[in-house]
Amino acid sequence: MNSVFLYTPKFEQFEFSEHHPFKPYRAKMVYELCYRYGLFDYPWVSVLDPEPEDASEMLRFHSREYVEALRGANKGYFDVSMLNHGLGSSDNPVFKGVLDFSLLVLGATLTGADRIASGQADIAFNPIGGLHHAGPDFAEGFCYVNDIVIAIKRLFEQGLERILYVDIDAHHGNGVQDAFYDTDQVMFVSFHQSGDTIYPGTGFENEMGTGKGLGYTVNVPLPEYTDDDAYIRAFKTVYPPVVRAYNPQIVIAQVGLDTLKKDPLTNLRCTNNSFQEVISEIKQSNSKVLALGGGGYSVKDVAKGWTLAWAILNDIEPHDPYQGLIGGAMYGFETSSEELYDPPHRISENLKKEVDRFVDQKLAFIEKNVFPYLGIT
């Protein structure tokens, strides 16, 4: 096994705005924790400093007009015409270097995809990638470039024909779904808080694809207050049989961590214990995995979770050689030597019954209406 962690200090040069919840410096936090826990100290692991992609690469998915709008916004000056492309909203503010940031994210994701496609790597992780909301002609949901769609299209050109995309972000990956809704070359599987209660208001179980893609979009909407038990049950009911039926050449996983109970923008009640189980299932499902960060806005908790994800993807047990000696003083975002693992969290029995009832209904629909298209009985 060879694995590649994509990181550059250049990520920290960008800020959407002072109070915007998307913090690019998360990448540094994950990098530092992985370093601290010895997760780069193995011969099959390498850390690569990605280069920005050329803007022309965005044209695989985005319109020329949108790319030019991003170019115009790159100096940080807003023009009212940019609103036509979703630029200048509270979710997607215009900031200095907005195109540069997008091209750096894209460069990191495409480097990981290329390494896997060429056989140089089996596992790659870009913690700042996974911007699954951006559309062909607009920014949306903190996402200015859809690095996922572009990576999939590039992998098509490199000869791959069966790509499974799994999205565990609390927000439905509408941009990726829309891009491949009518094809069987991409199996789209998403577990997310129901669009009834959260942005972007999509991803219902009856969104199943169209034409050749009918049955190749699988959405598992989850209720508010979904806990670890319900999340794991939903994931293990759907993901393993879908993977077996589709037999993908690669798995692309958007591993957003806004499912955590501490996340300020979502209403799920998971801990990183269920996240670890899900990452382990993804790791076991295919020998080739491109992992991309996505959402997550309780920043310290996201850094811990993605550190655990990197450990699981590499079959490494994290070990902190400094624990109990110097605390976290040399790791700027911590004040103490915290454990990576969350304590268990339980919701009330009455609430759990409501959550389980909702999840059971969605799983029953998928088993009855989606699985038959894939030959799953």
Return the active site residues.
Answer: 133
Instruction: Provide the phi-psi class of 128: left if phi over 0, else alpha when psi is between -120 and 50, else beta.
Output: alpha
Q: Buried b vs exposed e over 235-257: b needs ≥16 C-beta within 10 Å?
A: bebbbebbbeebebbbbbbbbbb
Pick from 199, 312, 192, 318: nearest CA to 256: 192
Residues 128 and 27 sit within 8 Å (Cβ to Cβ)? yes
164 membership: H or E segment, kind and range: strand 163-167
DSSP state of 295: -
Tell me which residue of 272, 255, 277 sits closest to 123, measured CA to CA. 255
User: Which of 130, 267, 257 is CA-nearest to residue 194?
Assistant: 267
- Rounded to 10°, the helix 228-246/272-285 angle is 10
